[in-house]
Structure 1
Amino acid sequence: MVPLCLAATACSRAADEDTLGRVRAGGTLRVALTTANPPWNFLDGAARPVGYDVDVAREVARRIGVRRVTFIGADFASFVGGIRADRFDVVIAGQSVTAKRRREVDFSRPYALNGVAVFVRRGDRSISGVKDLAGKRVAVSEGTVQAEFARDRVRDAKVKTYRNATLVLTDLSWGRADAALVSRFQGIYLAAEKGLAITPVGPVWRTYPLSMSFRKHSPAFRHALDTAISDMIGDGTLSAISRRWLGGLDMAAELRGLPPDPAARPSARP
């Protein structure tokens, strides 16, 4: 008879061995992302995943001793469930750490910072920031903290949800929404790349750290991820990746000084 896990520590060790040990033994890290949130992650002309998250994922895999990376398309609404169902090993897709998510998955130290802005159609002067969103059609990606904010904190908002920021901003440009809450990087990038007649208004609404999520009770896997990210911050690798994708921004400089433990960081929820 196979003995049951008689203690929480034993179960934690088994889970951890099945995460870090399995990906090393199998030689493949399964990474979830949206494939439609440039410049963080998207598909190039040959349908290959590219972007900041993709470069970070490949470098992290190499540093934790895994030869191959398999990218799996998903969305924010399904990331947590996918981790729990073992559809992928880690989400590297611009997730923020919230108390609700931390009840179901664990997080690495931050690997990026994201600033969310209000976007409107070019020439629309009726909205100058979050304070003007009451009663408006607000477009957001489902499963994000922006979606929660729009539903819970914007009075009488008509919240429109989409699978990714590309769809959010495209519909905004077509006049099917009055405003959108998305990453400032994403909005500016997509406006330039796709010729969308949209623009950010007001200051950055909120800046919050982005972390990698994975199955709970995986301390060795978490340590391996944290070490890889810390080393990438220290040796210039993250600076080079971010300068390539984020308009010359040095993400390593932005991250220095942030507490590495997700539990020690302020909540991303507005």
Structure 2
Amino acid sequence: MTPSSPSRPLTTVGLLAAVALGTAGCSADADADVLEQTRSRGTLRVAITEANPPWNFLEDNEPVGYDIDVAEELAERLDIDEVEFIGSDFASFIGGVQANRFDIVISGQTITEERLEQVAFSRPYEVNGISVFVSEDDTSITEVSSLSGQTIAVTEGTTQADYAREEIPDAQIKTYRNATLALTDVALGRADAALVSRFQGAYLAEENDLAVASGPLLETEVNGMSFRRGEEAFKEAVDEALGDMIEDGTLSEISRRWLGGLDMAEELSALPAD
């Protein structure tokens, strides 16, 4: 997705139907088979932001978080020896997939209609939502209507950025490479509020004393892993591995570790069936 072409998240029913269709109708190089390439190479190249705790971030210069554990478990189930994590950002994920700079993005991308026209998505692997975060001493912003005319910090290339542009009247939108930078500017008074995923924002607020949440979730987002269109064998293998992780409790264990005890498998099970 490009900043000049925002898209809204699909409705949940439509979203799941689109993901189930996967790569139907796509054309691809007959020689391109990501699954076999990664197995032969022995490495799964995974794009992450490196700055979105608790999903993925650097600790002692090593990537850690929910996405990291999921990616490593996925590679093992795909019979791929190791994972190479590649730092990128939301504005560059789609172009990176299309240019074959990495094999898959595992970094909390919301599945939208526009993105589905450019890349393929796995079945959902996490459910998230948008929260409003403000500085600790700001009591003026209590709900989304309070954001009108304010300076709003968002991560470029995300659905949060789309939401701010489309739903908040007269707002001045400031964009950043990641939510850590956006929240930092709120704490420093350079922005009035930030729109950030609920878990990520809560983690950063607690760990770094940057900002506090205000008001309920603005939207619920269903996120998937993205990769090149036309890779039917890869999509089938990824979806099967994710399904097994949900069924055998592995995804629940990972999410409880990183998301304050939340069971992501339960969150996913609440989504409508295909």
The alignment's TM-score, normalised by the length of structure 2, stands at: 0.88
Report the equivalent of 1:14.
Answer: 30
- Residues 182 and 11 (structure 1), Cα distance of their counterparts in 2 relative to 1, 3 Å cut: closer
CA distance in 1, matches of 2:149, 2:25: 50
CA distance in 2, matches of 1:228, 1:144: 26
Q: 2:181 matched to 1:167?
A: yes
**8 Å contact 1:13–1:218 — kept in the other structure?**
no
Report the 3-state secondary structure (helix = DSSP H, G, I; strand = E; otherwise coil) of the residue aligned with 1:217.
Answer: coil
Report the equivalent of 2:111.
Answer: 97
Report the equivalent of 2:53.
Answer: 38
CA distance in 2, matches of 1:165, 1:95: 14
Map 1:1-270 to 2 at 5 A. Answer: 12=28, 14=30, 17-45=32-60, 47-196=61-210, 198-258=211-271
Which ranges of 4 or more aligned residues in structure 1 deviate by more than 4 Å?
8-11
CA displacement 1:163-209 (0-9 Å, x = unmatched): 0011111111111100110011111111121122x111111111111
CA displacement 1:220-239 (0-9 Å, x = unmatched): 10011111111111100001
**8 Å contact 2:94–2:119 — kept in the other structure?**
yes
- Residues 231 and 168 (structure 1), Cα distance of their counterparts in 2 relative to 1, 3 Å cut: same
Number of equivalent positions:
251
Report the 3-state secondary structure (helix = DSSP H, G, I; strand = E; otherwise coil) of the residue aligned with 1:216.
Answer: coil
How far off its partner does 1:257 sit? 4.4
Report the 3-state secondary structure (helix = DSSP H, G, I; strand = E; otherwise coil) of the residue aligned with 1:70.
Answer: strand
**8 Å contact 2:155–2:182 — kept in the other structure?**
yes
Report the equivalent of 2:21.
Answer: none
How far off its partner does 1:116 sit? 1.1
Report the 3-state secondary structure (helix = DSSP H, G, I; strand = E; otherwise coil) of the residue aligned with 1:225.
Answer: helix
- Residues 164 and 84 (structure 1), Cα distance of their counterparts in 2 relative to 1, 3 Å cut: same
**8 Å contact 2:33–2:233 — kept in the other structure?**
no
CA distance in 2, matches of 1:76, 1:67: 27
In structure 2, runs of 5+ residues without a counterpart are: 1-23
CA displacement 1:147-166 (0-9 Å, x = unmatched): 11212222111000000011
Report the 3-state secondary structure (helix = DSSP H, G, I; strand = E; otherwise coil) of the residue aligned with 2:132.
Answer: strand
Give the aligned residue type for 2:76.
Answer: R
Report the 3-state secondary structure (helix = DSSP H, G, I; strand = E; otherwise coil) of the residue aligned with 1:155.
Answer: coil
